[in-house]
Structure 1
Amino acid sequence: MTLASTLAAASGPPEPGPGSFLLPPAFSIGGWEVNKPEIFLTLSAVIAFGLVYAMARKSAVVPSRLQFAGELVYDFVRNGIARDNIGSKDYAKYVPYLFSVFLFVLINNFYGVFPGIQFPSMSKFAFPVALALVTWLIYNIAGIAQHGVFGYLKHQTVPAGAKGPILIALVPLEFLSNIIVRPFTLALRLFATMFAGHLLILLFSLGAAYLVTDYANSAVGIPAGILSFVIGIGVSFLDMLIMFLQAYVFTLLTAMYIGTAISDEH
């Protein structure tokens, strides 16, 4: 939905909502419509691969700026997320996935402030859900490999030290919490923040345009429009921080779930 079409169709102030996220198809192949978020998602994988390849292609003892930046991000994920939450014994084999998912989510989030795109891919619920399901598979498979099927179910549903009739209530709750609900809460957290952030930016941007164009002759129209625009810029900077934090939180929770699944105690 473009700004011009929104303003033209509105009989009053523009009202951004869920319809603002329904982007038109970019093109179609044999009746299959390819929309912009799908293109952004594919592009982000290419960008992530290109960045990592460029950072590692000419690795040296004295790193270039690009190599230094890549090593900084990798070290942050490797030691600050993976090792701290999975443990020094088993963390290494999960670092490639954690590093990939961090970069992938970060790039898709930052599309929301990238000129010409300005649409965070993770504001489409299907994308966070797909990532969360991959995480769900990884930590459950890791837990089963570590403890066996029945041992893993006991590990995830029976808290250490819990005995007696209380288990009748605890086991179903722990099963729902640790096995069923986790991927949905993981996906919902990422989706909701990206959705809300983009909606706020739309609100202040469209509001600024509406005030300046429709109330230009009013004493408060242009000043209010400028103020709305400035607030929109401030929200964009705040949203950039949230975009980074959500990529971090998604990766952190993934590492925590893996660490919990393979740990010796619940």
Structure 2
Amino acid sequence: MIPLEAPELPGMEDFFPEPFLFEGTPFEFNRIMLVRMVAVVFICLLFGIGASRVKLVPGRFQGALEMALQVVRVNVAEAVIESPVLARRYTPALTVIFFGILALNLTGIVPLLHIAGSSVVGVPIVFAVFAYVLFVGAGIRAQGFGHFFKNQLFPPGVPWPIYFLLTPVEAFSTFVVRPATLVIRLLANMIAGHILLALTFFGTHYLLFYASGLLKGVSVLTFGASILVVLLEILVAVVQAFVFSLLTAVYIQLSVSEH
């Protein structure tokens, strides 16, 4: 009987796989990039097929897509952005953020992929920069360049000596903390989720195939824990996508409204 090879303990190296295409160039392609490409292709195909089959009386597939789109339109854009015109204007961008992050988050529980495309910092940064451009651009468009930055950095009704303290705080909070917290929140949750999933499935595999005696029975418990973690990760994936798009809408509203 050929002995089984012991499984490799999951760790941070999971997030930095070796490239298998274009190694040593700016276009290095590794497993994380492949996972991201799969997620992007899937979400584009999903909505592309839905758009190509639109009917006046929707079927189940079209109805499900419309309900999903309505979540962003009603519960994010219209619920946060006070102006109906602005809510309609920014709904497409908020929809891209929500479903893009959701697809990349859910790859962490897909067999053969096993890692969230958003669990490496590149994707959270891209979406945070997109959100940054959205809310700064919305403020400039609504108020004008000078008036927007004046309102953000010099809130009215404050004694002028206070501005020496308040203006740096406002600048740091608005233009640094907002995008940084978007990145950190998404990244930390996806990293933690991957490690938790990997450890529970690793424990199940190890106990089932390498433990002896009664310890093999413990694999039933760890497998049950793995299923619960998978369900938790689905919830976290949805919540993080929703929170990211919701905060982007909040920042847009704060930018277009005068203090």
TM-score (structure 2 length as normaliser): 0.90
Deviates more, 1:245-254 or 1:23-32: 23-32
Find out whether 1:229 has 2:223 as its counterpart: yes
CA distance in 2, matches of 1:158, 1:75: 37
- Match for residue 116 of structure 1 among 102, 105, 112: 112
- In the TM superposition, what are the counterparts of 1:21-100 in structure 2 within 5 Å? 21-28=15-22, 32-87=27-82, 88-100=84-96
Determine helix, strand or coil for the equivalent of 1:62: coil
Give the alignment of 1:1-266 within 5 angstroms.
7=6, 14=9, 16-28=10-22, 32-87=27-82, 88-215=84-211, 217-219=212-214, 221-263=215-257, 265-266=258-259
2:118–2:187 Cα contact (<8 Å) kept:
yes
Could you tell me which amino acid in structure 2 is paired with residue 62 of structure 1? V
In structure 2, how many angstroms separate the alpha carbons of the residues matched to 1:133 and 1:172? 21
How far did 1:213 drift?
Answer: 2.6
Return the offset for 1:97: 1.1
Which deviates the most, 106-115 or 149-158? Answer: 149-158
Unaligned regions of 5+ residues in structure 2, if any?
none
Query: Cα 1:160–1:228, aligned 2, differ >3 Å: closer, same or farther?
Result: farther
**CA positional deviation for 1:43:** 2.7
SS at match of 1:197: helix
**How far, CA to CA, are the matches of 1:178 and 1:60 in structure 2?**
43
- The 3 A distance-change label for structure 1 pair 23 and 160 is same
Report how far residue 127 of structure 1 moved: 1.1
Q: 1:159 to 1:66 in 2, by over 3 A?
A: same
The one-letter code sitting in structure 1 at the alignment partner of 2:218 is A
TM-score by length of 1: 0.88
**CA pair 160-53 structure 1, distance change in 2 beyond 3 A:** same
TM-fit CA distance, 1:185: 0.6
Q: Percent identity?
A: 32
Q: Which amino acid aligns with 2:242?
A: Y
What's the RMSD between the two structures over aligned residues? Answer: 2.0
Q: Quote the offset at 1:163 in angstroms.
A: 2.8
Instruction: Check the 8 A contact 2:39/2:107 in 1, yes or no.
Output: no
Change over 3 Å in CA distance of 1:8–1:114 after alignment to 2: closer
Give the counterpart letter for 1:158 in structure 2: F
Unaligned ranges ≥5, structure 1: none
CA distance in 2, matches of 1:74, 1:158: 38
Corresponding residue SS for 2:22: strand
